[in-house]
Amino acid sequence: MLLSFDQVSLHYGQSRPALVDVSFSLPEGGFYFLTGPSGAGKSSLLRMIYGAVRPTAGSVYIFGRDIAGLDRNELAAVRRQIGVIFQDFRLIPYLSALENAALPLRLLDKSEDYVVRHTTELLEWVGLGDKLHALPAALSGGEQQRVAIARAVVNKPRLLLADEPTGNIDDRNAVKLLHLIMELNKAGTAVLLATHQHHLVDSFKKPELRLDGGYLAPPDPRFRGEKAA
């Protein structure tokens, strides 16, 4: 199993728990929408997967390893296999679309020829072949989000985490973005996508995990957590 939560709870200080006894699993190549109202715990759950926070109770297993037992180097190795799309894009304003998307490959010390060739191909695939050298300020919200997607998947991660990736773009671009993510999933990347936009969830007919007040509702029995088609 690629990802597994086993009765995970998370408390921030003395406030109410962010997550309570959450259990679910995601197989290699699987897909889940993660839904729930604002404050339900969606972002906390995603942050836990890439090690930004540790569970107060329970265990999170990623790629077969308990994330709480990883040292700094081991956690860094795990993170290199995870792509993250943030709601606020987090593009570096003085870098071009190509330079932003290429950052993960440059951190891995890939050859410059490989970096430029592979990143260019990926940006062309997301429809930005004519915007390679544009700065973020010159791109629309939808174009910036596609750069963020390219950056998240440029090193071919096993798992893609997306935190409200359609929250800052219109419905037309949101649907386009979801289609891109579905194509990545079909190519073998597992996806966990947090959203509060139920019309998108209904349109794409993929399994859903719903959080409410830190509690997770049972998965839809029609899907049973199997690999997304």
**Cα distances (angstroms) measured from residue 211 to each of 21, 63, 136, 200, 216:** 11, 23, 33, 17, 5
Least confident of 27-41, 113-127, 136-150, 215-229: 215-229
**Quick one: which H or E segment has residue 65?**
strand 65-66
Same domain, 151 and 164: no
Per DSSP, 69 falls in state: G
pLDDT score of 110 = 92
Phi, psi of 105 (to 5 degrees): -70, -35
For the chain, give the mean pLDDT.
Answer: 89
Decide if 50 is inside a domain: yes
Decide if 88 is inside a domain: no
The percent helix, strand, coil of the chain (3-state, each to 5) is 35, 25, 40
Which of 204, 207, 205 shows the shortest CA–CA distance to 227? Answer: 207
**Quick one: which H or E segment has residue 8?**
strand 3-10
Encode pLDDT of 53-69 as tens digits: 999 999 999 999 999 89
What integer is the mean pLDDT of 128-150?
94
pLDDT score of 228 = 37
Q: For residue 132, give its domain range.
A: 93-156
Above 60 in pLDDT, residue 220?
no
Same domain, 75 and 162: yes
Which of 60, 66, 62 shows the shortest CA–CA distance to 5? Answer: 60
Same domain, 10 and 114: no
- Would you state the structure tokens that stand for residue 212, as one six-digit string? 């409410």
Above 50 in pLDDT, residue 20?
yes
**Quick one: which H or E segment has residue 213?**
none
Same domain, 45 and 21: yes
pLDDT score of 226 = 44
Decide if 206 is inside a domain: yes
What integer is the mean pLDDT of 133-141?
95
Report if pTM > 0.85: yes
pLDDT score of 219 = 58
Above 80 in pLDDT, residue 97?
yes
